[in-house]
């Protein structure tokens, strides 16, 4: 399960640098994990992200954003535009100008050392120029450091910050940077500053802040509401590397399969740089759902953190969900939120607990309450934090279970129980009743709630009711004598039938032969039915490949 989960995190959530070559080295007791690519070995290219859970920036093989789409600007967690889209403000992007860099790039190589977050790049131009770069983001401080060596070029070099241009963004140039004021869901004010070991002159025009130098080898720091003081590039890197070392010291595996190790290492890197002070978004870019907090996707990260032993990071996720609980109770019950125990968290939660998604049938999902209950249970079971379970965790788990019992379980006249109409997998459309994946999620939640109550010695009658309801739901699952169906009376194959095993805690059990047949039946047809959305190319998406 550890490797399956770690693959799903990388392939499903972050979808980057999976084609990089893997190289593992050890040096005088230091842990060095280098993942590299070049123009000959790379498939579909993606830049490498640097970040620390507050800042996030893609770095391409030029050591800048020269070969990066504008959507991969510098972003900051929680700094959001006004509704209705609540996207992150794009602070800006890094580009560079020097004599000859309009020439074609004929070769490049790029690597990341996941032990300390250092990215190294080399881009070679047709005219003989070569640009060597080292880049990292300090893991705790809001400093992105660049070390540049531009070879075989003449004349001045310009390092440029191209300001973002979303509505209500304002920049004011100062001597060594910019002051910013953004009017979004809140007012954001701060300072963008640049520091270097080379003499620079500055210019500002057309939304571009330029730092110009005659030197071709230099170090430069991009700072957001921070400054490096007297520290050098190497000193800052060493300071940040200590934090990475602490993170990696919490767990470690070594297996002979290089593909598993590559995926494991890059997944752990992504986990660390994407956790904000709130929780774990899909990614801190607007291409990644604007850095909002999907409980559905968050769960996969939580499971990975549990399996890796990163309990402090996992606790941050469940603490965030606990802080949302009063809002979730009101979302579920309105005027009666004090009288009814169920809770319904938003589909794409913002930092202020509100819904961040645009209107659509995805807001009618309900299986994400299962993910909140399960990640809470995993934290308490993996970490052994029974005190937190009794104080807070049981309140989350009970709220999820009671939401389902009160608002999702339908008692039919013939005595059967099914789950109400809702959105299951989005490609099935809205209003799907007795859907397999959602039903499995509810069953898993009720079983976990019953186990939680038993462990704490609480409400045995209610716990028994949960178990009876879960079993009744199982007996009403859609299908025929041979297979389970994703939705009733539907012959579409779907990854949904994996839900009885994963991600819902093996709720159906591997001894259920019908469940196993359904899984293998989908896997034999996944190239036809493996797309996530209707009307797109028929192929197995990376997310579902991770489930398999």
162: phi then psi, degrees, rounded to nearest 5:
-90, 110
Q: What is the pLDDT of residue 199?
A: 96
Q: Average pLDDT, stretch 124-145?
A: 97
Q: Cα–Cα distance between 219 and 135 in angstroms, integer?
A: 10
Mean pLDDT, rounded, for 275-298: 94
Domains of the chain as residue ranges with CATH: 21-248 (2.70.98.50), 292-547 (1.50.10.10)
pLDDT grade, residue 27 (50/70/90)?
very low
Q: Report the distance separating Cα 236 and Cα 251, nearest Å.
A: 24
| pTM score, whole prediction | 0.92
530 CB-near residues (< 8 Å, 6+ apart): 495, 538, 539, 540, 541, 544, 545
Joined tokens for residue 347: 């589909």
Mean pLDDT of the residues in the chain = 90
Residue 4, pLDDT > 80, answer no
Q: Give the whole-number percent of the chain exceeding pLDDT 90.
A: 76
H helices of 457-508, in order, are: 460-475
Provide, rounded to the nearest whole percent, the portion of the chain with pLDDT above 70: 94
Q: What is the pLDDT of residue 197?
A: 95
Per-residue pLDDT, averaged over 486-502, amounts to 89
Give backbone dihedrals phi and psi of 30, rounded to 5 degrees, phi first: -85, 145
**In the prediction, which pLDDT does 100 show?**
85
Pick the residue with more confidence: 544 or 537? 544
DSSP for residue 366: -
Q: Do 206 and 173 touch, CB atoms closer than 8 A?
A: no
| Mean pLDDT calculated for residue range 82-99 | 92
Range 516-525 contact pairs with CB under 8 angstroms and sequence separation of 24 or more: 517/482, 517/483, 518/479, 518/483, 518/484, 521/483, 521/493, 521/497, 522/493, 522/494, 522/495, 522/497, 522/498, 523/548, 525/493
The predicted structure's pLDDT at residue 253: 82
- Per residue in 291-344, pLDDT (tens digit) is 999 999 999 999 999 999 999 999 999 999 999 999 999 999 999 998 899 999
The mean pLDDT of 516-522, rounded to a whole number, is 93
């Amino acid at each position: 399960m550890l490797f399956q989960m770690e693959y799903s995190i990388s392939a499903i959530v972050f979808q980057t640098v999976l084609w990089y070559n893997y190289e593992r080295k050890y040096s005088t007791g230091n842990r060095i994990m280098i993942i590299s690519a070049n123009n000959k070995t790379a498939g579909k290219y993606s830049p490498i992200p640097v970040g620390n859970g507050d800042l996030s920036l893609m770095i391409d093989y030029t050591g800048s954003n020269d070969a990066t789409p504008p959507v991969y600007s510098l972003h900051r967690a929680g700094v959001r535009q006004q509704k209705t889209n609540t996207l992150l403000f794009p602070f800006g992007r890094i580009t560079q100008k020097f004599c000859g860099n309009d020439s074609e790039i004929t070769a490049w190589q790029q690597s990341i050392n996941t032990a300390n977050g250092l990215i190294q790049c080399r881009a070679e131009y047709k005219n003989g120029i070569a640009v060597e770069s080292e880049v990292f983001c300090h893991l705790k401080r809001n400093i992105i450091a660049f070390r540049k060596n531009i070879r075989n070029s003449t004349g001045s070099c310009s390092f440029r910050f191209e300001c973002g241009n979303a509505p209500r963004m304002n920049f004011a140039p100062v001597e060594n940077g910019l002051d910013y004021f953004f009017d979004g869901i809140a007012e954001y004010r701060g300072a963008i500053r640049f520091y270097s070991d080379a003499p620079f002159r500055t210019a500002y025009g057309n939304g571009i802040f330029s730092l110009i130098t005659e030197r071709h080898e230099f170090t430069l720091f991009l700072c957001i509401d921070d400054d490096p003081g007297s520290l050098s590039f190497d000193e800052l890197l060493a300071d940040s590397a200590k934090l990475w070392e602490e993170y990696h010291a919490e767990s470690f595996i070594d297996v002979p399969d290089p593909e598993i190790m590559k995926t494991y290492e890059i997944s752990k890197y992504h986990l660390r740089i994407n956790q904000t002070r709130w929780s774990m978004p899909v990614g801190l870019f607007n291409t990644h759902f604007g850095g909002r907090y999907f409980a559905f996707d968050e769960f996969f990260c939580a499971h990975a953190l549990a399996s890796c032993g990163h309990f402090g990071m996992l606790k941050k996720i469940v603490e965030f969900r606990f802080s949302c609980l009063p809002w979730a109770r009101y979302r579920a019950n309105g005027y009666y939120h004090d009288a009814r125990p169920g809770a319904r968290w938003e589909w794409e939660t913002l930092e202020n607990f509100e819904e961040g998604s645009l209107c659509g049938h995805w807001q009618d999902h309900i299986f994400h309450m299962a993910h909140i209950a399960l990640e809470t249970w995993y934290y308490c079971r993996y970490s052994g934090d029974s005190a937190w379970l009794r104080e807070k965790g049981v309140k989350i788990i009970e709220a999820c279970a009671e939401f389902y019992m009160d608002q999702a379980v339908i008692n039919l006249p013939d005595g059967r129980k099914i789950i109400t109409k809702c959105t299951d997998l989005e490609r099935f459309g809205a209003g799907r009743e007795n859907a397999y994946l959602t039903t499995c999620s509810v069953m898993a939640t009720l079983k976990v709630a019953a186990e939680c109550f038993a462990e704490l010695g609480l409400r045995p009658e209610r716990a028994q009711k949960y178990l009876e309801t879960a079993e009744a739901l199982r007996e009403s699952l859609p299908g025929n004598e041979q297979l389970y169906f994703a939705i009733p009376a539907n012959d579409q194959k779907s990854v949904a039938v994996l839900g009885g095993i994963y991600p819902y805690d093996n709720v159906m059990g591997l001894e259920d032969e019908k469940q196993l047949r359904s899984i293998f039946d989908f896997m034999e047809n996944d190239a036809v039915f493996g797309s996530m959305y209707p009307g797109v190319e028929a192929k197995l998406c990376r997310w579902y490949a991770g489930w398999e």
